[in-house]
Structure 1
Amino acid sequence: MRKDVEEVAAALVREYLSRKGLKKTIACMDEELPRTNLSINNRSDLRRILHLESLYKKNKSEEHPLKSMLEIMVKEQMKKGGDAKRCHLVDNRTLSAEENVPASASTTTDASYVWKDGDLAGQYGDSLSLSESSSAVSQLTASPAKESPSPKSSKSVSLCERGIFLPSSSQDSFLASSKAGLGYEKKNSDVDGQGSRTSRMRRGIMAGPITTSSQENSRRRPVRRTPGSLCLDKPEDDSDRVSWMSQSSSLDAGLTEADGTRPFERASSLSVSSHRQSMDSSEFDGLQRVKLHKNKSACSPRVDGLHMAGLVLDDIEDDEDLCGLSTVPVSNSLPQHNLNKRPMDQQTATALKEIIFGSPMMCFSEEWKRQSFTFSHVPALRYGIVQKKGGPCGVLAAVQATVLQKLLFERTISDSSSERLRVSDAVRTKCLTEAVAEILWRAGDRKKATVAINSGRSLFTPVGHYRSEGVLETITCVDVESLDGLKLLVEQNVQQFESGPFGCILFIICAILSRTIPMVRRDMDVPTSTLIGAHGYCTQELVNLLLCGRAVSNVFDDEMKLDSGNGNFTLLKGIKERCNIGLLSLFEHYNICKVGSYLKTPRFPLWVVCSESHFSVLFSLYEDLASSPWSPREFDLYYYDGLANQQEPIRLTVYPGSAVKPSGSEDVDTDLIPPLELCIRTRWADAGVSWNESEPIL
């Protein structure tokens, strides 16, 4: 029961945060209070559980509707709270046997009981009409008569205070039997004892010694409400508490039991004296309470006529009151059974630092800490990710190329290729989400992935041989076992990658943990290699991890065995399959390495360019360029460098082969050829390149 209440309350808070657009707050809440299979993530389900349908429709029809259900509840509560005292009955007259009230007067008194938000028939339908049913029961707004200062009136018993209304002809006889059964005794003139005794009788607590008011308050059982109960304003003194308790009992008296009888009909058939003496306070309380989930066939109160106080979910001891809550279908936004959240621990953080830097005493530089995947504000370059300082260029280039893959070749739009580069904020963020998810899913061998989320607080206290820096210590790891779940999880936390602190660091942690640290070491030719080398630059292992999902040390195809003599050989690991994104390297021009066809001819015409220890991106707008290693005619390539402070696109025209070259290119000194052209010629041999009036990048 308590768990159900907590889930409903948590869902109400999450709905409020979602309506207010507080995504970071929701993320923090999900970290500290993770969702479960019982979590309610559907607004319609939450409205149904809290009985807010009518209030929701009423709010929606207003000129300035409130956004969240929590605000609607607060507004209604504030509206009702100002008129709380008016919830009592207008007429405070009582039925006293000593005053010999005639039947006609009783009828008049009964008729004076009115509702604040509508009559009884309006609340419960024709079956409980005041004018037609002589056995109608007061539903919560009944107020006791003011006690007369005379001893005689203090001994009177009001049927109205018990929430019991009988036909006029039956009231006198019932009152007489009640008096006889309860065995009223003469009270002394002690006002305290008199008030306490009267209060105890009215609440049905007869056994035990008379206690003081303070003792009675401390021992009094709290009133247990059903989710559909009306407003009960908790009294501040004993006299008001009598009214409060009697109103609570009168509410239940108006409902129908499962066997078709009314609670007051069952109570009147018993001897009041023997019944009250034989039952304890909890049994008497249980007699007066009627559980709404057992009376679905009976008339239910309209939601728009209820006070919002009745919708407050207290810690109710009876599990049956909200037993239907757990059966509400849960449409979780994420496949909860495939999620596994765990905070970062020092052992994992140490292993990460060792594989990234080579030592747990090393830390990320300020260039890495400040770098996220933030897009350019230049109108013609809104697709480009901006690099603040040198260092993370290899990571940024790999993500940039994958963003262009999503933007140019995987979006089903009819715009021309050039128009696709003019993107809105929402579109480029969507492409970033899909790019991050694809890279991580590939690193996890397309079976699982791990997303690292910044929790904003330290999750462990480092000890021993470990240098703290406030990054790894704050990470929460979330494992996902489906691509759709991964995309949704990244989408919910994309701001951490796009604009939050440590966005680039979080991403490489995601990639390493998705591949797993042992597998990353196994991919490398030398297990002691690192992913970040000297001066904070990305190594080829890290770039390969992002491009092909394996942290291999080489860029040639497949594997290569080197004979070490004496029957021993060294295995060098390369690229296993054709990649979506390719790679061109200046080192190949200098015969330092050999780039294989899996990277030279990728599935999409997108290449990460490694030139002068810096990574950038070269791409074409036409997908068919990647279908063949040769191109019979000239074509255009676009170049983007996030660190170059570009203000406009750089378009290069490539002339394959040596037969056709741009004018004047024959006499150019080879020492002055831009490195980018040399990289292009590793893919298209002897190609001529025109910069189309752009300044060549040397």
Structure 2
Amino acid sequence: MIQNEYVESVSASLVREYLSRKSLKATLQSMDKELPRNDYSISNRSQLAKEIHINNLMKKNKEQEEPLRSMIEIITKYFLEKHSSKNSTVPTQSSSGASLSGGNANKTSALYDQSELAFSGLPPEDVSGRKAAKATVIHMPAQRPGSRFDNEDDNKPRQSFHQNSSRTEAPAQATSRPSSSRRRGMSGPITSNLDDKSRKNKKKTSANISGNASLTFDNDITSEYSTHIVDDYLTDKKSNKTDTKSSTDSFQDLLIAANSRSSKLKEKKKNEKDSKKDENQDLRKSRELDGDSMPERPQSRRRKSSTKMREKSTTLGDVELGDLDDLDDGITEKVGPKTMPSGLQSKINFSSKPITLNEAMELKNLIFGTSQSAFNDEWYKQGFGFSNAARLEYGIVQHKGGPCGILASVQACMLQQLLFGERKHASSASLQPLPTERSQCLAGGLADIFWRAGSRKSATVCLSSGRTVFTCGGRYKADNLTETLNLNTFSTYEDLSNFLKANIGAFEGQNSPGVILSLYSVIFSRTVDKIIVDMDEPTNKLMGAHGYCTQEMVNLYLTGEAVSNVFNDIMELDSGGTDSMLLKGLSRRSDIGLVSLFEHYKSCEVGRYYKTPKYPIWVVCSESHFSVLFCLKKELISDWRVERRFDLYYYDGLARQDEEIRLTVDTTQVNPELPSEDDLIPPLELCIRTKWPGAVVNWNGSEPIL
């Protein structure tokens, strides 16, 4: 059984695609507030079509002279056509019924375009004698073949979507729309008491239509996901060919009536407009006579252009139909886990493809050394979720040990965006961001990491499609994530950043595999071949013992290159023979710095590229754990006078930190460091002194971390 959460997410994606195609931005924003996007939300229109298996319908629709704009309309058209030959009557709006917009008997609540009525094959019927339909029930599929949730139990009742076509002579069980939905222009499913009752019953009954006739859609939509959908479509189309011709003639009366009402309405509006125009002209003349001219409103040009657009659109009854745009336009900025913030581009250009078996095997070989391994639970359930502790809202929480190297690196890049981003001035108030602000900074930090790994020319973002995209072989161990990846490649930083901001929910969830998705993304951005060349030994792997991050993995996040060392440039190691070994370090100054406890113990040397980064943010390597140090003053890395006395903030996502830790570093004093008391000195102080030798560190009342 398919999880209800997945069905709801795909359905919501269809609704968002409809709202996007209809340019209902305000409604879309309201929907995103009331029903937030999640990891299963689909952000690409072509991917959504593949997911619900309507590619053939989309192609046929595009070949029409007047193609429909949204997927919901295409699906609705298909079922209207398919069921037209099986039912004697269809739900229509009574010509004498009251409309949904206010009970006016001279208006209809919904009318079909003539091109949409022609294919339906509906039987001829007297328009004036028809009774208004009360409701139509459509049951969604209980199972979608090929889903990753096929083997999961789902005892929840299936939902139904109810749509009231009229409120005239409504029976006792029918309910009217709420008053908030009666404003002109609102659309979409309306929740009522009838809906609540129907959700409790597993068996759904169809609504009565025209007396004893009924129209039932039970389980018919499951054929939408069948591989024989095209054959069914063509068979029904041939069988209904004769009925379609007669049905088209049967609706001429309805169309004539609608056009007549539309003409009267236009004429009435024109008369009102002319009368207002005459009044304005009289007022302008009177003011001119008085010496006071009437200034033109600044919005007059905009109104003229909008008037021209309305003239281009076609009107049928009370429904205004605009020109159809290209059906291949993307909806990435509208459909996704998060709403795109205002000001971003309306289109995001990128290429997308599913991962292959060979790519998945190369990926696991690089990380684990074998394609038979997989991540443990500490990695699978680790996302970039934030802390809710006071004054620590910026901090990413780590659940268990293991991925601390990635979390600290992403935390540092996120702080770079939060404190020193475009038109930002760091202060103590910057460390208390709103949830939306920190999410956007997280997206910006990930964009920097991926773009840097792609040599600032391209980047790849890996997201799960929710289903297996290749057949797993004997040499590959499936993990229900790697084999579901879609690889989205970007050629501009702006498109990459906008895409991540729209889909940041896939990385930000507390128990989502956000860390793994980020690791896959940075690897594909750099490419497996280049990472192997970066490392000292081509047989090295990115995952260390016990599921810990290696230095190569941390360097890949911070510098974009998976070098094995932390010193500057390349060091040649002469073994005394004819061959010498090249040890590779940083090739340029890093944006984010690094200090290491191993340097205090003389086990390694951290170069100036890491010790003096472009931003005063350092990843701290202490023993086998990574954390973050940062300063609010950017001048710390460029003005020696600031280095006399300054504050450093410390954050450790694994330590269950519940209060702010602020360290005051004083380099004007000499620290009386005694070698015999090394074990009593906090390791963090030893790491700080590798950058500022002999500095005195004051914990300002916080308990020193030993």
TM over 0.5: yes
Whole-Å separation in 2 of the counterparts to 1:82 and 1:347:
55
Equivalence for 2:690: 682
Distance change >3 Å, CA 331–CA 468, structure 1 → 2: closer
Are 1:447 and 2:427 counterparts?
A: no
With the length of structure 1 as denominator, give the TM-score of the two structures: 0.60
Any residues of structure 2 matched to 1:538-687 within 5 Å, and which?
538-627=549-638, 633-656=644-667, 659-661=669-671, 669-687=677-695
Equivalence for 1:492: 502
Identity %: 41
Distance change >3 Å, CA 299–CA 357, structure 1 → 2: closer
* Structure number with larger C-alpha Rg: 1
Q: Deviations for 1:393-445, whole angstroms, at most 9, x for unmatched residues?
A: 0000001111111111125246x611111111011111101000001000000
Contact 2:383 2:507 in 1 (8 A): yes
**Which of 368, 372, 377 in structure 1 is aligned with 2:388?**
377
Equivalence for 1:102: none
Distance change >3 Å, CA 299–CA 116, structure 1 → 2: farther
Secondary structure of the residue aligned to 2:447 is helix
Whole-Å separation in 2 of the counterparts to 1:642 and 1:244:
67
Are 1:387 and 2:398 counterparts?
A: yes
Q: Deviations for 1:611-668, whole angstroms, at most 9, x for unmatched residues?
A: 01100001111111111578652211111100111111111111225x444xx97798
Secondary structure of the residue aligned to 1:562 is strand
Q: CA deviation at 1:581?
A: 0.5
Are 1:402 and 2:413 counterparts?
A: yes
Secondary structure of the residue aligned to 1:669 is helix
Equivalence for 1:692: 700
Contact 1:387 1:396 in 2 (8 A): yes
Equivalence for 2:468: 458
Equivalence for 1:480: 490
Distance change >3 Å, CA 298–CA 467, structure 1 → 2: closer
Greater mean deviation of Cα atoms: 404-413 or 527-536: 404-413
Secondary structure of the residue aligned to 1:505 is helix
Distance change >3 Å, CA 517–CA 299, structure 1 → 2: closer
Contact 1:338 1:479 in 2 (8 A): no
Equivalence for 1:189: none
Contact 2:566 2:605 in 1 (8 A): yes
Q: CA deviation at 1:307?
A: 5.5
Q: CA deviation at 1:305?
A: 3.2
Q: Deviations for 1:49-84, whole angstroms, at most 9, x for unmatched residues?
A: 9999xxxxxxxxxxxxxxx999xx9xxxxxx96642
Equivalence for 1:185: none
Question: Match for 2:37: what amino acid?
Answer: K
Whole-Å separation in 2 of the counterparts to 1:646 and 1:397:
14
Secondary structure of the residue aligned to 1:377 is coil
Any residues of structure 2 matched to 1:286-297 within 5 Å, and which?
none
Are 1:467 and 2:477 counterparts?
A: yes
Contact 1:453 1:493 in 2 (8 A): no
Greater mean deviation of Cα atoms: 16-25 or 472-481: 16-25
Secondary structure of the residue aligned to 1:618 is strand
Contact 1:143 1:247 in 2 (8 A): no
Are 1:534 and 2:548 counterparts?
A: no
Equivalence for 2:430: 420
Whole-Å separation in 2 of the counterparts to 1:613 and 1:369:
20
Tell me the matched-pair count. 472
Q: CA deviation at 1:669?
A: 2.0
Q: What is the RMSD computed on CA atoms of the aligned residues? A: 4.4
Are 1:244 and 2:251 counterparts?
A: yes
Question: Match for 2:369: what amino acid?
Answer: G
Are 1:27 and 2:35 counterparts?
A: no
Equivalence for 1:104: none
**Which of 220, 223, 235 in structure 1 is aligned with 2:242?**
220
Q: Deviations for 1:237-271, whole angstroms, at most 9, x for unmatched residues?
A: xxxx8653566689999999xxxxxxxxxxxxxxx
Contact 1:12 1:69 in 2 (8 A): no
Contact 1:142 1:247 in 2 (8 A): no
Equivalence for 1:94: none
Question: Match for 1:422: what amino acid?
Answer: Q
Distance change >3 Å, CA 335–CA 510, structure 1 → 2: farther
Q: Which runs of 5+ in 2 are unaligned?
A: 1-14, 52-57, 59-65, 78-89, 98-104, 109-123, 130-237, 264-307, 334-344
Contact 1:580 1:603 in 2 (8 A): yes
Contact 1:358 1:530 in 2 (8 A): yes
Q: CA deviation at 1:568?
A: 2.0
Contact 1:142 1:250 in 2 (8 A): no
Q: CA deviation at 1:339?
A: 1.4
Whole-Å separation in 2 of the counterparts to 1:568 and 1:426:
55
Whole-Å separation in 2 of the counterparts to 1:217 and 1:509:
51
Question: Match for 1:220: what amino acid?
Answer: T
Secondary structure of the residue aligned to 1:544 is helix
Distance change >3 Å, CA 456–CA 629, structure 1 → 2: farther
Q: CA deviation at 1:466?
A: 1.1
Any residues of structure 2 matched to 1:327-406 within 5 Å, and which?
333=333, 338-406=349-417
Question: Match for 1:32: what amino acid?
Answer: L
Contact 1:554 1:575 in 2 (8 A): yes
Contact 1:601 1:629 in 2 (8 A): no
Whole-Å separation in 2 of the counterparts to 1:380 and 1:453:
32
Distance change >3 Å, CA 337–CA 625, structure 1 → 2: closer
Whole-Å separation in 2 of the counterparts to 1:454 and 1:330:
19
Distance change >3 Å, CA 255–CA 328, structure 1 → 2: farther
Whole-Å separation in 1 of the counterparts to 2:348 and 2:28:
24
Question: Match for 2:584: what amino acid?
Answer: K
Equivalence for 2:317: 305
Whole-Å separation in 1 of the counterparts to 2:646 and 2:309:
76
Contact 2:45 2:332 in 1 (8 A): no
Whole-Å separation in 1 of the counterparts to 2:483 and 2:661:
41
Q: CA deviation at 1:498?
A: 0.6
Secondary structure of the residue aligned to 1:381 is coil
Contact 1:408 1:420 in 2 (8 A): yes
Whole-Å separation in 1 of the counterparts to 2:419 and 2:626:
21
Distance change >3 Å, CA 515–CA 327, structure 1 → 2: closer
Contact 1:630 1:684 in 2 (8 A): no
Q: CA deviation at 1:453?
A: 0.5
Contact 1:581 1:599 in 2 (8 A): yes
Contact 1:524 1:551 in 2 (8 A): yes
Whole-Å separation in 2 of the counterparts to 1:465 and 1:8:
40
Contact 1:444 1:549 in 2 (8 A): yes
Q: CA deviation at 1:31?
A: 2.9
Distance change >3 Å, CA 84–CA 550, structure 1 → 2: same
Any residues of structure 2 matched to 1:184-333 within 5 Å, and which?
218-220=240-242, 222=244, 243-245=250-252, 303=315, 305-306=317-318, 325-326=325-326, 333=333
Q: Which runs of 5+ in 1 are unaligned?
A: 1-5, 41-47, 53-67, 74-79, 88-114, 119-140, 147-215, 224-233, 236-240, 257-295, 314-321
Question: Match for 1:367: what amino acid?
Answer: E
